[in-house]
Amino acid sequence: MRDLEVLYRQVIMEHYKNPRNKGLLNDSTYKTIHIKNPTCGDDITIQSKIEDGIVKDVRHDGTGCSICCSSASVMSETLIGKTKTDAKNITETYLNMLTNKEFDESVELEEAVVYRGVNKFPARIKCASIAWKAFEGTLEESE
Amino acid sequence: MDAYLLKKDFPVLDDKTLVYLDTAASSLKPKQVIKKLDEYYEKYSVNVHRGVYSLSYVATQLYEESRRKVSEFINADFDEIIFTRGASSALNLVATSYGLNNLTSEDEIIVSELEHHSQVLPWQNVSNITKAKLIYVPLNKEGRITVENFKKVLNKKTKVVALNYVSNVMGYVSPIKEIIRLSHEVGAVVSVDAAQAAPHMRIDVKDLDCDFLAFSGHKMLGPTGIGVMFGKKELLKDMPPIEFGGDMNDNVNLYDASWKDSPYKFETGTPPIAGAIGLGAAIDYLNNLGFENISTHEKKLKDYAVEKLLKIEDIIVYNKTSETGIITFNIAGVHPHDAVTFFDGDNICMRAGHHCAQLIIKWLEVVATLRVSFYLYNTIEDCDKFIESVKNARDFFKSVGF
Protein backbone atom coordinates (compact mmCIF):
# COMPACT_ATOMS: atom_id res chain seq x y z
CA MET A 1 0.00 0.00 0.00
CA ARG A 2 3.04 2.31 0.31
CA ASP A 3 2.98 3.05 -3.43
CA LEU A 4 -0.68 3.89 -3.32
CA GLU A 5 -0.23 6.14 -0.34
CA VAL A 6 2.64 8.04 -1.95
CA LEU A 7 0.61 8.50 -5.08
CA TYR A 8 -2.46 9.84 -3.33
CA ARG A 9 -0.67 11.97 -0.79
CA GLN A 10 1.15 13.94 -3.42
CA VAL A 11 -0.54 16.23 -5.85
CA ILE A 12 -3.46 13.95 -6.64
CA MET A 13 -5.67 14.59 -3.62
CA GLU A 14 -4.98 18.31 -3.67
CA HIS A 15 -6.13 18.64 -7.27
CA TYR A 16 -8.99 16.16 -6.83
CA LYS A 17 -10.41 18.22 -3.99
CA ASN A 18 -9.61 21.63 -5.50
CA PRO A 19 -9.54 21.27 -9.25
CA ARG A 20 -8.09 24.17 -11.25
CA ASN A 21 -9.54 25.45 -14.53
CA LYS A 22 -12.64 23.30 -14.11
CA GLY A 23 -15.80 24.00 -16.07
CA LEU A 24 -16.34 24.30 -19.81
CA LEU A 25 -16.85 27.48 -21.79
CA ASN A 26 -19.34 28.05 -24.53
CA ASP A 27 -16.79 29.74 -26.76
CA SER A 28 -16.12 28.81 -30.36
CA THR A 29 -12.45 29.79 -30.15
CA TYR A 30 -11.97 26.69 -27.97
CA LYS A 31 -11.56 23.20 -29.39
CA THR A 32 -13.48 20.56 -27.44
CA ILE A 33 -12.88 16.81 -27.16
CA HIS A 34 -14.96 14.42 -25.07
CA ILE A 35 -13.52 11.03 -24.10
CA LYS A 36 -15.23 8.26 -22.19
CA ASN A 37 -13.75 5.16 -20.70
CA PRO A 38 -16.87 3.04 -20.93
CA THR A 39 -15.57 0.19 -18.79
CA CYS A 40 -15.14 2.28 -15.66
CA GLY A 41 -17.38 5.23 -16.36
CA ASP A 42 -14.67 7.92 -16.53
CA ASP A 43 -16.03 10.71 -18.67
CA ILE A 44 -13.89 13.75 -19.39
CA THR A 45 -14.23 16.74 -21.69
CA ILE A 46 -11.20 18.91 -22.43
CA GLN A 47 -11.18 22.31 -24.11
CA SER A 48 -8.15 24.18 -25.31
CA LYS A 49 -7.64 27.60 -26.79
CA ILE A 50 -4.57 28.07 -28.97
CA GLU A 51 -3.68 31.59 -30.09
CA ASP A 52 -0.56 32.65 -31.97
CA GLY A 53 1.03 29.28 -31.25
CA ILE A 54 0.46 29.59 -27.50
CA VAL A 55 -1.82 27.49 -25.29
CA LYS A 56 -3.91 30.32 -23.89
CA ASP A 57 -6.31 28.21 -21.87
CA VAL A 58 -7.19 24.61 -20.99
CA ARG A 59 -10.55 23.74 -19.42
CA HIS A 60 -11.87 20.41 -18.21
CA ASP A 61 -15.02 18.88 -16.81
CA GLY A 62 -16.43 15.44 -16.21
CA THR A 63 -16.70 12.60 -13.75
CA GLY A 64 -14.25 9.92 -12.83
CA CYS A 65 -11.90 8.60 -10.20
CA SER A 66 -9.38 10.75 -8.36
CA ILE A 67 -6.53 9.89 -10.73
CA CYS A 68 -8.58 10.79 -13.78
CA CYS A 69 -10.02 14.06 -12.45
CA SER A 70 -6.85 15.27 -10.75
CA SER A 71 -4.75 14.58 -13.85
CA ALA A 72 -7.02 16.84 -15.90
CA SER A 73 -6.50 19.62 -13.39
CA VAL A 74 -2.74 19.11 -13.21
CA MET A 75 -2.58 19.00 -16.99
CA SER A 76 -4.36 22.32 -17.34
CA GLU A 77 -1.92 24.00 -14.98
CA THR A 78 1.07 22.43 -16.66
CA LEU A 79 0.10 23.36 -20.20
CA ILE A 80 -1.41 26.84 -19.98
CA GLY A 81 1.08 29.39 -21.27
CA LYS A 82 3.26 26.86 -23.08
CA THR A 83 3.89 27.09 -26.79
CA LYS A 84 1.90 24.64 -28.83
CA THR A 85 5.10 22.77 -29.70
CA ASP A 86 6.13 22.48 -26.06
CA ALA A 87 2.63 21.41 -25.03
CA LYS A 88 2.67 18.71 -27.66
CA ASN A 89 6.08 17.56 -26.55
CA ILE A 90 5.08 17.49 -22.86
CA THR A 91 1.94 15.53 -23.67
CA GLU A 92 3.86 12.97 -25.68
CA THR A 93 6.51 12.63 -22.98
CA TYR A 94 3.89 12.26 -20.27
CA LEU A 95 2.00 9.54 -22.14
CA ASN A 96 5.23 7.66 -22.84
CA MET A 97 6.22 7.90 -19.19
CA LEU A 98 2.88 6.46 -18.09
CA THR A 99 3.05 3.48 -20.39
CA ASN A 100 6.65 2.63 -19.47
CA LYS A 101 7.89 3.55 -22.91
CA GLU A 102 11.17 5.36 -23.42
CA PHE A 103 10.74 9.05 -22.78
CA ASP A 104 12.83 12.16 -22.84
CA GLU A 105 13.63 12.84 -19.17
CA SER A 106 14.88 16.31 -19.98
CA VAL A 107 11.36 17.48 -20.77
CA GLU A 108 10.02 19.36 -17.74
CA LEU A 109 6.72 17.76 -16.76
CA GLU A 110 6.34 19.93 -13.66
CA GLU A 111 3.70 18.57 -11.25
CA ALA A 112 2.54 16.00 -13.79
CA VAL A 113 5.65 13.99 -13.04
CA VAL A 114 4.00 12.45 -9.94
CA TYR A 115 1.83 10.35 -12.23
CA ARG A 116 4.94 8.34 -12.94
CA GLY A 117 3.84 6.38 -9.85
CA VAL A 118 0.77 5.20 -11.74
CA ASN A 119 2.88 2.78 -13.76
CA LYS A 120 2.99 0.62 -10.62
CA PHE A 121 -0.76 0.19 -11.12
CA PRO A 122 -1.11 -0.86 -14.73
CA ALA A 123 -4.90 -1.08 -14.47
CA ARG A 124 -4.99 2.65 -13.73
CA ILE A 125 -2.83 3.93 -16.59
CA LYS A 126 -5.94 4.63 -18.63
CA CYS A 127 -7.34 6.81 -15.83
CA ALA A 128 -4.21 8.98 -15.86
CA SER A 129 -4.02 9.28 -19.63
CA ILE A 130 -7.58 10.02 -20.71
CA ALA A 131 -7.45 13.82 -20.12
CA TRP A 132 -4.11 14.13 -21.90
CA LYS A 133 -5.35 12.08 -24.84
CA ALA A 134 -8.32 14.42 -25.10
CA PHE A 135 -5.98 17.42 -25.02
CA GLU A 136 -3.97 15.84 -27.85
CA GLY A 137 -7.24 15.60 -29.76
CA THR A 138 -7.95 19.30 -29.30
CA LEU A 139 -4.48 20.11 -30.65
CA GLU A 140 -5.14 18.02 -33.74
CA GLU A 141 -8.44 19.81 -34.24
CA SER A 142 -6.76 23.18 -34.03
CA GLU A 143 -4.40 22.26 -36.87
CA MET B 1 -19.76 -29.52 -0.21
CA ASP B 2 -16.38 -28.49 1.16
CA ALA B 3 -15.14 -25.23 -0.38
CA TYR B 4 -11.71 -25.71 1.23
CA LEU B 5 -11.28 -28.97 -0.65
CA LEU B 6 -12.70 -27.56 -3.87
CA LYS B 7 -10.14 -24.75 -3.85
CA LYS B 8 -7.51 -27.40 -4.61
CA ASP B 9 -9.17 -28.06 -7.96
CA PHE B 10 -8.48 -24.52 -9.14
CA PRO B 11 -4.84 -23.94 -10.14
CA VAL B 12 -5.21 -20.14 -9.96
CA LEU B 13 -5.95 -20.55 -6.25
CA ASP B 14 -2.55 -22.15 -5.67
CA ASP B 15 -1.75 -18.58 -4.67
CA LYS B 16 -3.11 -18.85 -1.15
CA THR B 17 -3.19 -15.09 -0.70
CA LEU B 18 -5.55 -14.58 -3.61
CA VAL B 19 -9.21 -13.83 -2.89
CA TYR B 20 -11.22 -14.16 -6.07
CA LEU B 21 -14.56 -12.36 -5.86
CA ASP B 22 -15.34 -11.69 -9.50
CA THR B 23 -17.07 -14.87 -10.64
CA ALA B 24 -19.98 -12.86 -12.04
CA ALA B 25 -17.50 -11.58 -14.65
CA SER B 26 -15.83 -14.96 -15.18
CA SER B 27 -15.38 -17.97 -12.96
CA LEU B 28 -12.09 -19.71 -12.33
CA LYS B 29 -11.57 -22.99 -14.13
CA PRO B 30 -10.94 -26.32 -12.37
CA LYS B 31 -8.24 -28.72 -13.53
CA GLN B 32 -10.90 -31.22 -14.57
CA VAL B 33 -11.96 -28.75 -17.28
CA ILE B 34 -8.42 -27.71 -18.20
CA LYS B 35 -7.49 -31.39 -18.57
CA LYS B 36 -10.28 -31.91 -21.09
CA LEU B 37 -9.06 -28.97 -23.15
CA ASP B 38 -5.49 -30.32 -23.11
CA GLU B 39 -6.78 -33.75 -24.03
CA TYR B 40 -8.49 -32.35 -27.11
CA TYR B 41 -5.44 -30.39 -28.25
CA GLU B 42 -2.98 -33.17 -27.46
CA LYS B 43 -4.84 -36.28 -28.52
CA TYR B 44 -7.16 -35.53 -31.43
CA SER B 45 -7.14 -31.77 -32.18
CA VAL B 46 -9.00 -32.04 -35.51
CA ASN B 47 -12.15 -30.63 -37.02
CA VAL B 48 -15.67 -31.94 -36.50
CA HIS B 49 -18.37 -32.99 -38.99
CA ARG B 50 -15.91 -33.03 -41.90
CA GLY B 51 -13.15 -35.58 -41.79
CA VAL B 52 -13.89 -39.13 -42.86
CA TYR B 53 -11.15 -40.51 -40.67
CA SER B 54 -11.27 -41.87 -37.18
CA LEU B 55 -9.68 -38.94 -35.36
CA SER B 56 -12.32 -36.61 -36.73
CA TYR B 57 -14.95 -39.14 -35.74
CA VAL B 58 -13.67 -39.04 -32.15
CA ALA B 59 -13.67 -35.23 -32.10
CA THR B 60 -17.20 -35.13 -33.50
CA GLN B 61 -18.42 -37.69 -30.97
CA LEU B 62 -17.04 -35.70 -28.06
CA TYR B 63 -18.33 -32.39 -29.40
CA GLU B 64 -21.82 -33.78 -29.85
CA GLU B 65 -21.65 -35.57 -26.52
CA SER B 66 -21.21 -32.15 -24.94
CA ARG B 67 -24.32 -30.94 -26.73
CA ARG B 68 -26.17 -33.84 -25.17
CA LYS B 69 -24.82 -32.92 -21.73
CA VAL B 70 -25.93 -29.32 -22.20
CA SER B 71 -29.39 -30.41 -23.31
CA GLU B 72 -29.80 -32.56 -20.21
CA PHE B 73 -28.35 -29.78 -18.07
CA ILE B 74 -31.28 -27.50 -18.90
CA ASN B 75 -33.81 -30.22 -19.80
CA ALA B 76 -33.93 -29.34 -23.50
CA ASP B 77 -33.88 -31.60 -26.53
CA PHE B 78 -30.58 -32.32 -28.25
CA ASP B 79 -31.32 -30.33 -31.41
CA GLU B 80 -32.48 -27.30 -29.44
CA ILE B 81 -28.92 -26.56 -28.29
CA ILE B 82 -26.86 -24.23 -30.44
CA PHE B 83 -23.24 -23.60 -29.54
CA THR B 84 -22.18 -19.95 -29.77
CA ARG B 85 -19.22 -17.82 -28.69
CA GLY B 86 -20.98 -16.95 -25.46
CA ALA B 87 -24.23 -15.61 -24.04
CA SER B 88 -23.75 -12.36 -25.95
CA SER B 89 -23.66 -14.00 -29.36
CA ALA B 90 -26.55 -16.26 -28.35
CA LEU B 91 -28.72 -13.26 -27.42
CA ASN B 92 -27.67 -11.51 -30.61
CA LEU B 93 -28.63 -14.55 -32.61
CA VAL B 94 -32.14 -14.51 -31.14
CA ALA B 95 -32.58 -10.80 -31.83
CA THR B 96 -31.09 -10.83 -35.31
CA SER B 97 -32.65 -14.01 -36.61
CA TYR B 98 -36.01 -13.99 -34.82
CA GLY B 99 -36.40 -10.27 -34.13
CA LEU B 100 -35.46 -8.78 -37.46
CA ASN B 101 -37.59 -11.28 -39.33
CA ASN B 102 -40.74 -11.22 -37.24
CA LEU B 103 -41.24 -7.70 -35.93
CA THR B 104 -42.82 -4.63 -37.48
CA SER B 105 -43.57 -1.08 -36.43
CA GLU B 106 -46.86 -2.30 -34.96
CA ASP B 107 -45.10 -4.49 -32.39
CA GLU B 108 -43.61 -3.97 -28.96
CA ILE B 109 -40.52 -5.46 -27.29
CA ILE B 110 -40.32 -5.54 -23.51
CA VAL B 111 -36.91 -5.18 -21.86
CA SER B 112 -35.77 -3.68 -18.55
CA GLU B 113 -33.16 -1.35 -17.10
CA LEU B 114 -31.85 -4.34 -15.18
CA GLU B 115 -30.48 -5.97 -18.34
CA HIS B 116 -26.88 -6.58 -19.30
CA HIS B 117 -25.94 -4.71 -22.48
CA SER B 118 -25.92 -7.98 -24.38
CA GLN B 119 -29.63 -8.42 -23.75
CA VAL B 120 -30.83 -4.84 -24.26
CA LEU B 121 -28.61 -3.63 -27.12
CA PRO B 122 -29.51 -6.33 -29.67
CA TRP B 123 -33.19 -5.46 -29.15
CA GLN B 124 -32.46 -1.75 -29.32
CA ASN B 125 -30.95 -2.52 -32.71
CA VAL B 126 -34.00 -4.54 -33.76
CA SER B 127 -36.21 -1.68 -32.61
CA ASN B 128 -34.21 0.85 -34.63
CA ILE B 129 -34.40 -1.24 -37.77
CA THR B 130 -37.97 -2.57 -37.58
CA LYS B 131 -39.43 0.43 -35.73
CA ALA B 132 -40.96 -1.95 -33.21
CA LYS B 133 -41.29 -0.09 -29.92
CA LEU B 134 -38.87 -0.80 -27.08
CA ILE B 135 -40.75 -0.79 -23.77
CA TYR B 136 -39.11 -0.86 -20.32
CA VAL B 137 -40.66 -2.66 -17.36
CA PRO B 138 -40.71 -0.12 -14.54
CA LEU B 139 -38.49 -1.47 -11.75
CA ASN B 140 -39.79 -1.43 -8.19
CA LYS B 141 -38.07 0.66 -5.53
CA GLU B 142 -35.49 -2.05 -4.86
CA GLY B 143 -34.69 -2.21 -8.56
CA ARG B 144 -36.51 -5.48 -9.16
CA ILE B 145 -38.63 -6.68 -12.04
CA THR B 146 -41.99 -7.63 -10.55
CA VAL B 147 -44.94 -9.47 -12.06
CA GLU B 148 -47.18 -6.60 -11.07
CA ASN B 149 -45.09 -4.05 -12.98
CA PHE B 150 -44.62 -6.43 -15.88
CA LYS B 151 -48.40 -6.62 -16.29
CA LYS B 152 -48.47 -2.83 -16.69
CA VAL B 153 -46.44 -2.98 -19.90
CA LEU B 154 -47.61 -6.30 -21.34
CA ASN B 155 -50.34 -6.03 -23.96
CA LYS B 156 -51.54 -7.50 -27.24
CA LYS B 157 -48.87 -5.62 -29.17
CA THR B 158 -46.06 -7.29 -27.19
CA LYS B 159 -44.27 -9.69 -29.52
CA VAL B 160 -41.00 -10.24 -27.66
CA VAL B 161 -40.06 -10.18 -23.99
CA ALA B 162 -36.30 -10.11 -23.39
CA LEU B 163 -35.35 -10.22 -19.71
CA ASN B 164 -32.76 -11.64 -17.36
CA TYR B 165 -33.18 -14.62 -15.07
CA VAL B 166 -30.65 -13.26 -12.56
CA SER B 167 -29.32 -9.69 -12.68
CA ASN B 168 -25.54 -9.40 -13.02
CA VAL B 169 -25.50 -6.23 -10.91
CA MET B 170 -28.24 -6.68 -8.32
CA GLY B 171 -28.25 -10.48 -8.11
CA TYR B 172 -32.06 -10.55 -8.03
CA VAL B 173 -33.87 -13.58 -9.39
CA SER B 174 -36.61 -12.44 -11.78
CA PRO B 175 -40.09 -14.01 -11.54
CA ILE B 176 -39.38 -15.32 -15.01
CA LYS B 177 -41.70 -18.34 -14.99
CA GLU B 178 -44.76 -16.22 -14.30
CA ILE B 179 -43.58 -13.62 -16.83
CA ILE B 180 -43.28 -16.35 -19.45
CA ARG B 181 -46.77 -17.66 -18.69
CA LEU B 182 -48.29 -14.19 -18.98
CA SER B 183 -46.35 -13.42 -22.16
CA HIS B 184 -47.61 -16.55 -23.83
CA GLU B 185 -51.17 -15.51 -23.05
CA VAL B 186 -50.73 -12.54 -25.39
CA GLY B 187 -48.75 -14.57 -27.93
CA ALA B 188 -45.31 -13.07 -27.19
CA VAL B 189 -42.09 -15.09 -27.20
CA VAL B 190 -39.67 -14.82 -24.29
CA SER B 191 -35.88 -14.72 -24.55
CA VAL B 192 -34.16 -15.30 -21.21
CA ASP B 193 -30.65 -14.13 -20.40
CA ALA B 194 -29.52 -16.88 -18.03
CA ALA B 195 -25.80 -16.03 -17.95
CA GLN B 196 -25.94 -15.39 -14.19
CA ALA B 197 -28.41 -18.19 -13.51
CA ALA B 198 -26.80 -21.19 -15.21
CA PRO B 199 -23.72 -21.26 -12.92
CA HIS B 200 -25.81 -21.16 -9.75
CA MET B 201 -29.19 -22.82 -10.09
CA ARG B 202 -30.93 -25.66 -11.85
CA ILE B 203 -32.56 -24.47 -15.07
CA ASP B 204 -35.42 -26.40 -16.62
CA VAL B 205 -36.49 -24.90 -19.93
CA LYS B 206 -39.51 -27.20 -20.19
CA ASP B 207 -40.76 -26.19 -16.77
CA LEU B 208 -40.08 -22.50 -17.49
CA ASP B 209 -41.57 -22.94 -20.97
CA CYS B 210 -39.20 -20.20 -22.24
CA ASP B 211 -38.79 -19.79 -25.99
CA PHE B 212 -35.11 -18.85 -25.96
CA LEU B 213 -32.46 -18.99 -23.26
CA ALA B 214 -28.78 -18.09 -23.32
CA PHE B 215 -25.74 -18.61 -21.14
CA SER B 216 -21.93 -18.61 -21.24
CA GLY B 217 -19.47 -21.38 -20.45
CA HIS B 218 -16.81 -19.25 -18.80
CA LYS B 219 -19.05 -18.07 -15.96
CA MET B 220 -19.78 -21.67 -14.94
CA LEU B 221 -16.27 -23.17 -14.73
CA GLY B 222 -16.06 -23.72 -18.49
CA PRO B 223 -13.69 -22.29 -21.08
CA THR B 224 -14.03 -18.85 -22.66
CA GLY B 225 -15.38 -18.64 -26.19
CA ILE B 226 -18.21 -21.10 -25.73
CA GLY B 227 -21.84 -20.32 -25.00
CA VAL B 228 -25.24 -21.79 -25.51
CA MET B 229 -28.43 -20.67 -27.12
CA PHE B 230 -31.49 -22.75 -26.44
CA GLY B 231 -34.48 -22.29 -28.73
CA LYS B 232 -37.75 -24.17 -28.99
CA LYS B 233 -37.62 -26.51 -31.95
CA GLU B 234 -40.71 -25.12 -33.68
CA LEU B 235 -39.27 -21.58 -33.53
CA LEU B 236 -35.78 -22.57 -34.67
CA LYS B 237 -37.28 -24.37 -37.66
CA ASP B 238 -38.51 -21.13 -39.23
CA MET B 239 -35.59 -18.93 -38.22
CA PRO B 240 -32.99 -18.08 -40.87
CA PRO B 241 -29.28 -18.45 -40.19
CA ILE B 242 -27.46 -15.17 -39.60
CA GLU B 243 -24.02 -16.42 -40.56
CA PHE B 244 -23.31 -18.31 -43.75
CA GLY B 245 -20.42 -20.53 -44.69
CA GLY B 246 -19.06 -24.01 -44.20
CA ASP B 247 -20.92 -26.81 -42.45
CA MET B 248 -24.26 -24.99 -42.10
CA ASN B 249 -25.37 -25.61 -45.70
CA ASP B 250 -27.08 -28.48 -47.38
CA ASN B 251 -27.16 -28.04 -51.16
CA VAL B 252 -25.29 -25.13 -52.71
CA ASN B 253 -26.16 -23.82 -56.18
CA LEU B 254 -24.97 -20.78 -58.09
CA TYR B 255 -27.74 -18.46 -56.93
CA ASP B 256 -29.34 -20.21 -54.00
CA ALA B 257 -28.63 -22.75 -51.32
CA SER B 258 -30.42 -24.71 -48.64
CA TRP B 259 -29.50 -25.15 -45.01
CA LYS B 260 -29.06 -28.01 -42.62
CA ASP B 261 -31.60 -28.39 -39.86
CA SER B 262 -31.12 -26.75 -36.48
CA PRO B 263 -28.79 -26.62 -34.62
CA TYR B 264 -26.30 -26.94 -37.48
CA LYS B 265 -27.72 -24.20 -39.66
CA PHE B 266 -26.73 -21.74 -36.92
CA GLU B 267 -23.19 -23.08 -36.47
CA THR B 268 -21.09 -22.13 -39.45
CA GLY B 269 -17.31 -22.38 -39.55
CA THR B 270 -15.18 -24.46 -37.26
CA PRO B 271 -16.90 -24.25 -33.90
CA PRO B 272 -15.10 -23.85 -30.56
CA ILE B 273 -14.60 -27.60 -30.33
CA ALA B 274 -12.30 -27.65 -27.30
CA GLY B 275 -14.59 -25.09 -25.67
CA ALA B 276 -17.68 -27.25 -26.13
CA ILE B 277 -15.88 -30.31 -24.77
CA GLY B 278 -14.59 -28.28 -21.83
CA LEU B 279 -18.11 -27.02 -21.14
CA GLY B 280 -19.25 -30.63 -20.92
CA ALA B 281 -16.59 -31.24 -18.25
CA ALA B 282 -17.76 -28.13 -16.35
CA ILE B 283 -21.32 -29.45 -16.37
CA ASP B 284 -20.09 -32.78 -14.96
CA TYR B 285 -18.28 -30.88 -12.22
CA LEU B 286 -21.38 -28.86 -11.28
CA ASN B 287 -23.68 -31.87 -11.44
CA ASN B 288 -21.36 -33.71 -9.10
CA LEU B 289 -21.69 -31.00 -6.49
CA GLY B 290 -25.40 -30.35 -6.94
CA PHE B 291 -26.93 -26.91 -7.36
CA GLU B 292 -28.69 -27.01 -4.04
CA ASN B 293 -25.32 -27.18 -2.30
CA ILE B 294 -23.78 -24.52 -4.52
CA SER B 295 -26.53 -21.94 -4.10
CA THR B 296 -26.89 -22.53 -0.36
CA HIS B 297 -23.15 -22.01 0.04
CA GLU B 298 -23.13 -18.78 -2.01
CA LYS B 299 -26.14 -17.37 -0.19
CA LYS B 300 -24.52 -18.13 3.16
CA LEU B 301 -21.36 -16.23 2.20
CA LYS B 302 -23.34 -13.36 0.74
CA ASP B 303 -25.54 -12.96 3.82
CA TYR B 304 -22.50 -13.16 6.10
CA ALA B 305 -20.63 -10.49 4.11
CA VAL B 306 -23.65 -8.17 3.82
CA GLU B 307 -24.26 -8.32 7.55
CA LYS B 308 -20.65 -7.32 8.23
CA LEU B 309 -20.61 -4.66 5.50
CA LEU B 310 -23.70 -2.98 6.92
CA LYS B 311 -21.90 -2.55 10.24
CA ILE B 312 -19.10 -0.57 8.60
CA GLU B 313 -19.69 3.15 8.48
CA ASP B 314 -19.72 4.79 5.02
CA ILE B 315 -20.57 1.58 3.16
CA ILE B 316 -23.61 1.68 0.91
CA VAL B 317 -25.04 -1.68 -0.17
CA TYR B 318 -27.46 -1.44 -3.10
CA ASN B 319 -28.94 -4.96 -3.10
CA LYS B 320 -29.28 -6.13 0.49
CA THR B 321 -32.19 -8.43 -0.29
CA SER B 322 -30.76 -10.27 -3.31
CA GLU B 323 -31.17 -14.05 -3.42
CA THR B 324 -27.83 -14.88 -5.03
CA GLY B 325 -24.13 -14.39 -4.30
CA ILE B 326 -23.72 -10.87 -5.73
CA ILE B 327 -23.13 -7.75 -3.60
CA THR B 328 -23.12 -4.32 -5.22
CA PHE B 329 -21.85 -1.52 -3.02
CA ASN B 330 -19.78 1.63 -2.67
CA ILE B 331 -17.61 3.36 -0.11
CA ALA B 332 -19.26 6.76 0.35
CA GLY B 333 -17.27 9.51 -1.37
CA VAL B 334 -14.73 7.13 -2.94
CA HIS B 335 -14.88 6.44 -6.65
CA PRO B 336 -15.03 2.64 -7.16
CA HIS B 337 -11.99 2.78 -9.38
CA ASP B 338 -9.95 4.33 -6.61
CA ALA B 339 -11.25 1.73 -4.19
CA VAL B 340 -10.58 -1.25 -6.40
CA THR B 341 -6.87 -0.42 -6.65
CA PHE B 342 -6.71 -0.65 -2.87
CA PHE B 343 -8.37 -4.09 -2.92
CA ASP B 344 -6.03 -5.18 -5.66
CA GLY B 345 -3.16 -4.29 -3.31
CA ASP B 346 -4.61 -6.83 -0.87
CA ASN B 347 -4.78 -9.38 -3.71
CA ILE B 348 -8.59 -9.28 -3.76
CA CYS B 349 -10.12 -9.39 -7.24
CA MET B 350 -13.42 -7.60 -7.60
CA ARG B 351 -15.21 -5.53 -10.15
CA ALA B 352 -15.55 -1.76 -10.35
CA GLY B 353 -17.49 0.09 -12.98
CA HIS B 354 -20.89 -0.32 -14.50
CA HIS B 355 -20.66 -4.06 -15.13
CA CYS B 356 -21.83 -3.83 -18.76
CA ALA B 357 -25.17 -2.64 -17.45
CA GLN B 358 -25.18 1.15 -17.67
CA LEU B 359 -28.96 1.39 -17.42
CA ILE B 360 -29.15 0.01 -13.88
CA ILE B 361 -26.16 2.13 -12.81
CA LYS B 362 -28.04 5.19 -14.09
CA TRP B 363 -31.17 3.93 -12.36
CA LEU B 364 -29.19 3.75 -9.10
CA GLU B 365 -28.04 7.33 -9.79
CA VAL B 366 -24.37 6.59 -9.15
CA VAL B 367 -21.36 6.87 -11.47
CA ALA B 368 -20.28 3.29 -10.91
CA THR B 369 -20.23 0.62 -8.20
CA LEU B 370 -18.06 -2.03 -6.67
CA ARG B 371 -19.25 -5.60 -7.01
CA VAL B 372 -18.23 -8.84 -5.38
CA SER B 373 -19.66 -12.21 -6.35
CA PHE B 374 -19.23 -15.49 -4.51
CA TYR B 375 -18.96 -18.97 -5.90
CA LEU B 376 -18.36 -22.52 -4.78
CA TYR B 377 -14.62 -22.00 -4.19
CA ASN B 378 -15.06 -19.05 -1.81
CA THR B 379 -14.92 -19.46 1.95
CA ILE B 380 -15.81 -17.56 5.11
CA GLU B 381 -12.08 -16.65 5.32
CA ASP B 382 -12.37 -15.00 1.92
CA CYS B 383 -15.30 -12.98 3.29
CA ASP B 384 -13.30 -12.00 6.37
CA LYS B 385 -10.30 -10.88 4.30
CA PHE B 386 -12.64 -8.90 2.10
CA ILE B 387 -14.37 -7.21 5.04
CA GLU B 388 -11.03 -6.40 6.65
CA SER B 389 -9.84 -4.87 3.39
CA VAL B 390 -13.03 -2.79 3.07
CA LYS B 391 -12.43 -1.35 6.53
CA ASN B 392 -8.80 -0.59 5.74
CA ALA B 393 -9.73 0.95 2.41
CA ARG B 394 -12.29 3.18 4.04
CA ASP B 395 -9.71 4.28 6.65
CA PHE B 396 -7.03 4.80 4.02
CA PHE B 397 -9.14 6.99 1.77
CA LYS B 398 -10.34 9.00 4.74
CA SER B 399 -6.76 9.51 5.86
CA VAL B 400 -5.64 10.90 2.51
CA GLY B 401 -8.57 13.28 2.43
CA PHE B 402 -11.46 11.72 0.49
pLDDT, averaged across chain B: 97
B376 and B308 share one domain: yes
Q: Which domain holds residue B313?
A: 290-396
Per the domain annotation, does B336 fall within a domain? yes
Domain final residue pick, B243, B262, B288: B288
**pLDDT tens-place string over residues A107-118:** 999 999 989 988
B240 and B196 share one domain: yes
Nearest Cα residue in chain A from B335: A65
Identity of the residue in A17, A41, A124 whose CB atom sits nearest the CB atom of B368: A41
B215 and B279 share one domain: yes
Indicate if the pLDDT at residue A40 is higher than 90: no
Residue A1 banded pLDDT, cuts 50, 70, 90: low
- Give chain A's domain count: 1
Asked if A17 and B354 come within 8 Å (Cβ–Cβ), the reply is no
Which ranges constitute the DSSP H helices of B40-154? 54-73, 87-93, 100-102, 117-130, 147-153
- Give chain B's domain count: 2
What is the CATH number for B282? 3.40.640.10
Pairwise CA distance, residues B312 & B319, whole Å: 16
Burial of A96 (0-12, 13-18, 19+ CB in 10 A): middle
B257 and B340 share one domain: no
Burial of A125 (0-12, 13-18, 19+ CB in 10 A): middle
Q: Which domain holds residue A130?
A: 2-141
Identity of the residue in A9, A64, A124 whose CB atom sits nearest the CB atom of B400: A9
B336 and B216 share one domain: no
Task: Give the closest residue to B132 by CA, choosing from B161, B112, B152.
Answer: B161
The DSSP symbol for B345 reads H
Per the domain annotation, does B16 fall within a domain? no
Per the domain annotation, does B381 fall within a domain? yes
**pLDDT tens-place string over residues A65-118:** 999 999 999 999 999 999 999 999 999 999 999 988 999 889 999 999 989 988
Pairwise CA distance, residues A138 & A31, whole Å: 5
**Positive or negative torsion for Cα B357, B363, B369, B374:** negative
Question: How much of chain A is helix, strand and coil, in % rounded to 5?
Answer: 55, 20, 25
Per the domain annotation, does B202 fall within a domain? yes
Residue A6 banded pLDDT, cuts 50, 70, 90: confident
Indicate if the pLDDT at residue B276 is higher than 80: yes
What is the CATH number for A115? 3.90.1010.10
Domain final residue pick, B288, B311, B328: B288
Q: Is B356 an annotated catalytic residue?
A: yes
Domain final residue pick, B288, B310, B327: B288
Indicate if the pLDDT at residue B170 is higher than 80: yes
Interface test with A, best of B116, B334, B341 (most A CBs within 10 A): B341
